[in-house]
Amino acid sequence: MYPLRRNRRLRTTPALRALVRETHLNTTDFIVPLFVVEGSGIKEEIPSMPNYYRFSLDLIRKEVKELWSLGLKSVLLFVKVPDKLKDNAGTEALNAEGLMQRAIKEVRNAVPEMVVMTDVALDPYSSYGHDGIVENGIVVNDATNSILAEMAVSHATAGASIVAPSDMMDGRILDIREALEDEGFVDTAIMSYSAKYASSFYGPFRDALDSAPGFGDKKTYQMDPSNRFEAIKETLMDIDEGADIVMIKPGIAYLDIVREIRNEVDVPVAVYQVSGEYAMIKAAAEKGWLDHEAVMQEQLLAIKRAGANMIASYFAKDMARILGA
Ligand code: PBG
Protein backbone atom coordinates (compact mmCIF):
# COMPACT_ATOMS: atom_id res chain seq x y z
CA MET A 1 0.00 0.00 0.00
CA TYR A 2 1.36 3.41 -0.92
CA PRO A 3 1.86 5.93 0.56
CA LEU A 4 2.17 4.89 4.20
CA ARG A 5 3.08 8.43 5.11
CA ARG A 6 0.85 11.20 3.92
CA ASN A 7 2.41 14.47 5.04
CA ARG A 8 -0.76 16.39 4.27
CA ARG A 9 -2.55 14.71 7.21
CA LEU A 10 -0.95 17.17 9.64
CA ARG A 11 -1.88 20.17 7.51
CA THR A 12 -5.61 19.63 7.32
CA THR A 13 -6.84 22.19 9.89
CA PRO A 14 -5.51 25.40 11.47
CA ALA A 15 -5.46 23.72 14.89
CA LEU A 16 -3.41 20.79 13.62
CA ARG A 17 -1.03 23.09 11.83
CA ALA A 18 -0.59 25.06 15.03
CA LEU A 19 0.09 21.86 16.94
CA VAL A 20 2.98 20.83 14.70
CA ARG A 21 4.39 24.31 14.09
CA GLU A 22 8.14 24.39 14.78
CA THR A 23 8.84 28.10 14.94
CA HIS A 24 6.92 30.78 16.84
CA LEU A 25 7.56 34.48 17.04
CA ASN A 26 7.23 36.17 20.43
CA THR A 27 7.37 39.81 21.40
CA THR A 28 10.43 39.00 23.52
CA ASP A 29 12.34 38.04 20.36
CA PHE A 30 12.57 41.64 19.27
CA ILE A 31 15.02 44.49 19.66
CA VAL A 32 13.54 47.83 18.62
CA PRO A 33 15.94 50.24 16.90
CA LEU A 34 15.23 53.85 17.92
CA PHE A 35 16.50 56.98 16.17
CA VAL A 36 16.97 59.98 18.43
CA VAL A 37 17.33 63.66 17.46
CA GLU A 38 17.92 66.90 19.37
CA GLY A 39 14.98 69.18 20.03
CA SER A 40 11.55 68.73 21.50
CA GLY A 41 8.19 67.64 20.19
CA ILE A 42 9.86 66.04 17.17
CA LYS A 43 8.52 62.90 15.55
CA GLU A 44 9.68 63.03 11.94
CA GLU A 45 9.14 60.28 9.42
CA ILE A 46 12.23 58.97 7.61
CA PRO A 47 11.44 59.33 3.89
CA SER A 48 12.98 56.02 2.83
CA MET A 49 11.48 54.21 5.85
CA PRO A 50 7.71 54.86 5.75
CA ASN A 51 6.03 54.79 9.17
CA TYR A 52 9.42 54.89 10.95
CA TYR A 53 10.45 58.00 12.84
CA ARG A 54 13.18 60.01 14.48
CA PHE A 55 12.15 61.12 17.96
CA SER A 56 13.30 63.92 20.22
CA LEU A 57 13.99 62.92 23.83
CA ASP A 58 10.62 64.00 25.22
CA LEU A 59 8.80 61.81 22.70
CA ILE A 60 11.20 58.89 23.18
CA ARG A 61 9.81 58.68 26.69
CA LYS A 62 6.32 58.14 25.40
CA GLU A 63 7.50 55.74 22.74
CA VAL A 64 9.38 53.39 25.08
CA LYS A 65 6.44 53.27 27.45
CA GLU A 66 4.28 52.20 24.55
CA LEU A 67 6.85 49.61 23.46
CA TRP A 68 6.94 48.19 26.96
CA SER A 69 3.16 47.95 27.09
CA LEU A 70 3.26 45.98 23.83
CA GLY A 71 5.67 43.49 25.42
CA LEU A 72 8.77 44.85 23.65
CA LYS A 73 11.52 44.82 26.24
CA SER A 74 14.66 45.93 24.49
CA VAL A 75 15.67 48.94 22.44
CA LEU A 76 18.77 49.75 20.42
CA LEU A 77 19.59 53.45 20.40
CA PHE A 78 21.03 55.46 17.51
CA VAL A 79 21.52 59.20 17.44
CA LYS A 80 21.46 61.77 14.65
CA VAL A 81 24.23 64.22 15.43
CA PRO A 82 24.14 67.83 14.17
CA ASP A 83 26.83 68.52 11.52
CA LYS A 84 28.50 71.18 13.65
CA LEU A 85 29.35 68.56 16.29
CA LYS A 86 30.98 66.14 13.85
CA ASP A 87 34.74 65.77 13.53
CA ASN A 88 37.22 63.15 12.39
CA ALA A 89 37.78 61.68 15.86
CA GLY A 90 34.08 61.59 16.78
CA THR A 91 34.83 63.70 19.88
CA GLU A 92 31.15 64.29 20.58
CA ALA A 93 30.66 60.53 21.09
CA LEU A 94 32.45 60.86 24.44
CA ASN A 95 30.45 63.83 25.71
CA ALA A 96 28.87 62.74 28.99
CA GLU A 97 26.01 65.12 28.22
CA GLY A 98 25.79 64.10 24.55
CA LEU A 99 22.53 63.09 22.91
CA MET A 100 23.21 59.35 23.27
CA GLN A 101 24.10 59.64 26.93
CA ARG A 102 20.95 61.70 27.62
CA ALA A 103 18.86 59.25 25.59
CA ILE A 104 20.10 56.31 27.65
CA LYS A 105 19.15 58.10 30.87
CA GLU A 106 15.77 59.10 29.46
CA VAL A 107 14.86 55.55 28.48
CA ARG A 108 16.16 54.17 31.79
CA ASN A 109 14.10 56.72 33.59
CA ALA A 110 10.93 56.13 31.57
CA VAL A 111 11.05 52.32 31.81
CA PRO A 112 13.67 51.16 34.31
CA GLU A 113 13.28 47.48 33.38
CA MET A 114 13.93 48.02 29.67
CA VAL A 115 17.07 46.45 28.17
CA VAL A 116 18.91 49.47 26.79
CA MET A 117 21.31 48.70 23.97
CA THR A 118 23.48 51.34 22.31
CA ASP A 119 25.19 51.56 18.95
CA VAL A 120 28.92 51.95 19.40
CA ALA A 121 30.47 53.30 16.19
CA LEU A 122 31.83 56.62 15.03
CA ASP A 123 29.87 57.10 11.82
CA PRO A 124 27.08 59.36 13.13
CA TYR A 125 29.75 61.52 14.79
CA SER A 126 32.31 61.44 11.98
CA SER A 127 32.74 64.34 9.58
CA TYR A 128 33.71 61.67 7.01
CA GLY A 129 30.73 59.41 7.78
CA HIS A 130 33.08 56.50 8.46
CA ASP A 131 33.07 54.13 11.41
CA GLY A 132 36.60 55.06 12.39
CA ILE A 133 39.22 57.78 12.40
CA VAL A 134 40.47 58.66 8.91
CA GLU A 135 44.16 59.24 8.24
CA ASN A 136 45.39 59.81 4.68
CA GLY A 137 42.15 58.44 3.29
CA ILE A 138 42.35 55.25 5.36
CA VAL A 139 40.13 54.24 8.27
CA VAL A 140 42.70 53.39 10.92
CA ASN A 141 42.03 50.46 13.21
CA ASP A 142 43.79 50.74 16.56
CA ALA A 143 43.29 54.44 17.23
CA THR A 144 39.59 53.91 16.48
CA ASN A 145 39.41 51.07 19.01
CA SER A 146 40.61 53.32 21.83
CA ILE A 147 37.75 55.73 21.17
CA LEU A 148 35.21 52.91 20.85
CA ALA A 149 36.32 51.56 24.22
CA GLU A 150 35.88 55.01 25.81
CA MET A 151 32.53 55.35 24.10
CA ALA A 152 31.36 52.01 25.51
CA VAL A 153 32.39 53.09 29.01
CA SER A 154 30.55 56.38 28.53
CA HIS A 155 27.37 54.50 27.53
CA ALA A 156 27.71 52.12 30.46
CA THR A 157 28.18 55.08 32.79
CA ALA A 158 24.95 56.61 31.48
CA GLY A 159 23.16 53.32 32.17
CA ALA A 160 23.33 51.15 29.04
CA SER A 161 22.72 47.45 29.69
CA ILE A 162 24.34 46.27 26.46
CA VAL A 163 26.80 48.04 24.18
CA ALA A 164 26.65 47.05 20.52
CA PRO A 165 29.79 47.81 18.50
CA SER A 166 28.79 47.98 14.82
CA ASP A 167 32.09 49.19 13.37
CA MET A 168 33.95 45.97 12.38
CA MET A 169 37.40 47.15 13.51
CA ASP A 170 39.73 44.28 14.48
CA GLY A 171 40.22 43.71 18.18
CA ARG A 172 37.61 46.19 19.34
CA ILE A 173 35.68 43.66 21.42
CA LEU A 174 38.74 42.94 23.56
CA ASP A 175 39.50 46.65 23.98
CA ILE A 176 35.89 47.36 24.95
CA ARG A 177 35.73 44.38 27.32
CA GLU A 178 38.94 45.40 29.07
CA ALA A 179 37.85 49.01 29.38
CA LEU A 180 34.49 47.99 30.87
CA GLU A 181 36.16 45.63 33.35
CA ASP A 182 38.73 48.28 34.31
CA GLU A 183 35.94 50.74 35.06
CA GLY A 184 33.95 48.22 37.08
CA PHE A 185 31.20 47.63 34.54
CA VAL A 186 31.41 43.88 34.94
CA ASP A 187 27.73 43.34 34.08
CA THR A 188 27.59 45.44 30.95
CA ALA A 189 27.13 42.99 28.10
CA ILE A 190 28.56 43.31 24.61
CA MET A 191 26.46 42.48 21.58
CA SER A 192 28.98 42.38 18.77
CA TYR A 193 28.04 42.97 15.16
CA SER A 194 30.40 40.12 14.44
CA ALA A 195 29.44 39.23 10.87
CA LYS A 196 28.47 42.56 9.39
CA TYR A 197 28.57 42.66 5.63
CA ALA A 198 29.40 45.63 3.40
CA SER A 199 25.80 45.60 2.23
CA SER A 200 23.79 47.84 -0.05
CA PHE A 201 20.78 47.32 2.21
CA TYR A 202 21.88 50.03 4.68
CA GLY A 203 20.90 52.97 2.46
CA PRO A 204 17.72 54.08 4.25
CA PHE A 205 19.46 53.92 7.66
CA ARG A 206 22.16 56.27 6.40
CA ASP A 207 19.39 58.66 5.31
CA ALA A 208 17.86 58.39 8.77
CA LEU A 209 21.08 59.40 10.52
CA ASP A 210 22.69 61.42 7.75
CA SER A 211 25.67 59.08 8.12
CA ALA A 212 26.57 58.03 4.57
CA PRO A 213 30.33 57.83 3.99
CA GLY A 214 31.65 61.10 2.56
CA PHE A 215 34.20 59.28 0.40
CA GLY A 216 34.68 55.69 -0.68
CA ASP A 217 32.76 52.86 0.91
CA LYS A 218 33.02 50.60 3.96
CA LYS A 219 34.56 47.60 2.23
CA THR A 220 37.89 47.85 4.07
CA TYR A 221 36.18 47.04 7.34
CA GLN A 222 32.76 45.47 6.68
CA MET A 223 32.74 41.97 5.18
CA ASP A 224 32.60 40.94 1.54
CA PRO A 225 29.12 39.48 0.84
CA SER A 226 30.82 36.60 -0.99
CA ASN A 227 32.36 35.17 2.18
CA ARG A 228 31.11 32.43 4.46
CA PHE A 229 34.12 31.06 6.37
CA GLU A 230 35.14 34.58 7.22
CA ALA A 231 31.84 35.12 9.03
CA ILE A 232 32.57 32.18 11.28
CA LYS A 233 36.14 33.34 11.89
CA GLU A 234 35.00 36.88 12.77
CA THR A 235 32.32 35.55 15.10
CA LEU A 236 34.52 33.06 16.95
CA MET A 237 37.17 35.76 17.42
CA ASP A 238 34.62 38.15 18.90
CA ILE A 239 33.44 35.49 21.33
CA ASP A 240 37.06 34.84 22.36
CA GLU A 241 37.48 38.56 22.92
CA GLY A 242 34.47 38.69 25.23
CA ALA A 243 31.29 39.18 23.17
CA ASP A 244 28.18 37.97 25.01
CA ILE A 245 25.87 38.05 21.99
CA VAL A 246 26.93 37.89 18.35
CA MET A 247 25.08 39.35 15.40
CA ILE A 248 24.69 38.71 11.71
CA LYS A 249 23.62 41.58 9.50
CA PRO A 250 21.69 41.95 7.19
CA GLY A 251 19.06 39.23 7.63
CA ILE A 252 17.20 37.69 4.73
CA ALA A 253 20.08 37.63 2.26
CA TYR A 254 22.37 35.98 4.85
CA LEU A 255 20.28 33.20 6.39
CA ASP A 256 22.84 30.56 5.39
CA ILE A 257 25.34 32.41 7.58
CA VAL A 258 22.83 32.62 10.43
CA ARG A 259 22.32 28.85 10.40
CA GLU A 260 26.03 28.11 10.25
CA ILE A 261 26.84 30.44 13.09
CA ARG A 262 23.94 29.16 15.21
CA ASN A 263 25.33 25.63 14.74
CA GLU A 264 28.86 26.73 15.57
CA VAL A 265 28.62 28.89 18.71
CA ASP A 266 27.27 28.61 22.25
CA VAL A 267 26.21 32.23 22.78
CA PRO A 268 22.92 33.89 21.76
CA VAL A 269 22.74 34.87 18.09
CA ALA A 270 21.08 38.09 16.96
CA VAL A 271 20.08 39.07 13.45
CA TYR A 272 19.55 42.62 12.25
CA GLN A 273 16.79 42.89 9.66
CA VAL A 274 18.12 46.13 8.23
CA SER A 275 16.60 49.30 6.84
CA GLY A 276 16.73 48.21 3.18
CA GLU A 277 14.84 45.04 3.99
CA TYR A 278 12.18 47.14 5.67
CA ALA A 279 12.03 49.62 2.80
CA MET A 280 11.58 46.91 0.17
CA ILE A 281 8.55 45.44 1.88
CA LYS A 282 7.05 48.89 2.50
CA ALA A 283 7.54 49.96 -1.12
CA ALA A 284 6.10 46.79 -2.61
CA ALA A 285 3.14 46.92 -0.22
CA GLU A 286 2.48 50.57 -1.06
CA LYS A 287 2.21 49.60 -4.70
CA GLY A 288 -0.18 46.84 -3.79
CA TRP A 289 2.25 44.23 -5.08
CA LEU A 290 2.79 42.37 -1.79
CA ASP A 291 0.70 41.75 1.31
CA HIS A 292 2.57 43.77 3.96
CA GLU A 293 1.53 41.79 7.00
CA ALA A 294 1.99 38.37 5.45
CA VAL A 295 5.40 39.11 3.94
CA MET A 296 6.62 40.79 7.12
CA GLN A 297 5.66 37.74 9.19
CA GLU A 298 7.13 35.30 6.72
CA GLN A 299 10.49 37.08 6.67
CA LEU A 300 10.69 37.39 10.46
CA LEU A 301 9.77 33.73 10.84
CA ALA A 302 12.43 32.77 8.30
CA ILE A 303 15.05 34.69 10.27
CA LYS A 304 14.06 32.91 13.47
CA ARG A 305 13.85 29.50 11.77
CA ALA A 306 17.36 30.04 10.41
CA GLY A 307 18.60 30.27 13.99
CA ALA A 308 18.19 33.81 15.29
CA ASN A 309 17.54 34.00 19.03
CA MET A 310 16.68 37.67 18.74
CA ILE A 311 15.89 40.02 15.88
CA ALA A 312 16.52 43.73 15.60
CA SER A 313 13.70 44.88 13.36
CA TYR A 314 11.86 48.03 12.34
CA PHE A 315 8.75 45.83 12.19
CA ALA A 316 8.91 44.98 15.91
CA LYS A 317 5.97 47.18 16.82
CA ASP A 318 3.78 46.00 13.94
CA MET A 319 4.60 42.42 14.82
CA ALA A 320 3.97 42.93 18.55
CA ARG A 321 0.53 44.32 17.75
CA ILE A 322 -0.30 41.20 15.76
CA LEU A 323 1.09 38.88 18.44
CA GLY A 324 -0.83 40.67 21.17
CA ALA A 325 -4.10 40.69 19.26
C1 PBG B 1 26.58 52.11 11.74
C2 PBG B 1 25.44 51.20 11.51
C3 PBG B 1 24.81 50.97 10.28
C4 PBG B 1 23.70 50.18 10.55
C5 PBG B 1 23.70 49.92 11.93
N6 PBG B 1 24.78 50.56 12.50
C7 PBG B 1 25.11 51.49 8.93
C8 PBG B 1 26.42 51.26 8.32
O9 PBG B 1 27.22 50.43 8.74
O10 PBG B 1 26.70 51.99 7.36
C11 PBG B 1 22.71 49.74 9.51
C12 PBG B 1 21.33 49.44 10.00
C13 PBG B 1 20.28 49.43 8.96
O14 PBG B 1 20.51 49.56 7.74
O15 PBG B 1 19.13 49.27 9.36
N16 PBG B 1 27.78 51.60 12.14
Q: Above 80 in pLDDT, residue 149?
A: yes
CATH of the domain at 309: 3.20.20.70
Kindly state the average pLDDT of the residues 255-262.
98
Ligand 1 pocket check for 205: Cβ under 6 Å:
yes
Q: Is residue 10 part of a domain?
A: no
Which pLDDT band holds residue 175 (cuts at 50, 70, 90)?
very high
Task: Convert the pLDDT of each residue in 64-79 to its tens digit.
Answer: 999 999 999 999 999 9
**CA 194 – CA 74 distance, rounded (Å):** 20
Residue 249, strand partner residues: 196
* Higher pLDDT, residue 206 or 185: 185
Whole-number pLDDT of residue 84: 95
Tens-digit pLDDT profile for residues 271-285: 999 999 999 999 999
Closest-CA residue, ligand 1 atom 5, reads 166
Determine, yes or no, domain membership for 7. no
**Residue with CA closest to ligand 1 atom 6:** 166
Percent of the chain past pLDDT 70, that is, above it, reads 100
How many CB atoms are closer than 10 A to CB 143?
13
* 181 found inside a domain: yes
List the residue whose alpha carbon is closest to atom 11 of ligand 1. Answer: 202
Residue 92 CB–ligand 1 contact under 6 Å: no
Asked whether the beta carbons of 72 and 30 are under 8 A apart, the reply is: yes
Q: Which of 320, 324, 305 is nearest to 22 (CA)?
A: 305
Q: Is residue 100 part of a domain?
A: yes
Within a domain: 1 = no
pTM for this structure?
0.97
Q: Where does the pLDDT of residue 204 fall: very low under 50, low under 70, confident under 90, or very high at 90 and above? A: very high
pLDDT at 9: 95
Residue 277 lies in a domain: yes
Tell me: pLDDT of 4 over 90: no
Phi, psi (rounded to 5 degrees) for 37: -125, 160
| Averaged pLDDT, 257-266 | 98
Q: Quote the pLDDT of residue 67.
A: 98
Q: 235 in a domain, yes or no?
A: yes
Nearest to 66, CA basis, from 103, 34, 24: 34
Distance from Cα 22 to the centre of ligand 1, integer Å: 31
pLDDT at 1 exceeding the cut of 90? no
pLDDT above 80: residue 165? yes
What pLDDT sits at residue 2?
76
DSSP 295: H
Assess if residue 13 is contained within a domain. no
Average pLDDT of the residues in 241-270: 98
Ligand 1 lined by 275 (C-beta under 6 Å): yes
Taking Cα atoms as reference points, which of 197, 210, 211 lies closest to residue 168? 197
Q: How far apart are CA 153 and CA 202, in angstroms?
A: 27
Torsion angle of the four alpha carbons 94, 98, 102, 105, in this order, in degrees rounded to the nearest 10: 10
Q: Is the CB of 37 under 6 A from ligand 1?
A: no
Average pLDDT taken over every residue of the chain: 97
pLDDT at 156 over 80: yes
Residue 159 banded pLDDT, cuts 50, 70, 90? very high
Per-residue confidence (pLDDT) for residue 3, from 0 to 100: 82
Percent of the chain with pLDDT over 90: 96
Report residue 224 CA to chain centroid gap: 19
With the most atoms of ligand 1 within 8 angstroms of its CB, the residue from 117, 125, 274 to mutate is: 274
CA angle in degrees (0–180, nearest 5) for 99-208-280: 145
Please tell me if the CB atom of residue 123 comes closer than 6 angstroms to any atom of ligand 1. Answer: yes
Per-residue pLDDT reduced to its tens digit, 100-128? 999 999 999 999 999 999 999 999 999 99
Kind of pairing, strands 43-46 and 49-56?
A: antiparallel
What confidence category does residue 325 fall into, taking pLDDT thresholds of 50, 70 and 90?
confident
Q: How many domains does the chain have?
A: 1
- The pLDDT of 137-165, averaged and rounded, is 97
Q: Which domain holds residue 116?
A: 23-324
Name the residue of 202, 277, 281, 311 whose CB sits within 8 Å of the most ligand 1 atoms, as the mutation to test its pocket: 202
What local confidence, expressed as pLDDT, does residue 225 receive? 98
- Residue 277 Cβ inside 6 Å of ligand 1? The answer reads no
**Catalytic residue numbers, as ranges:** 196, 249
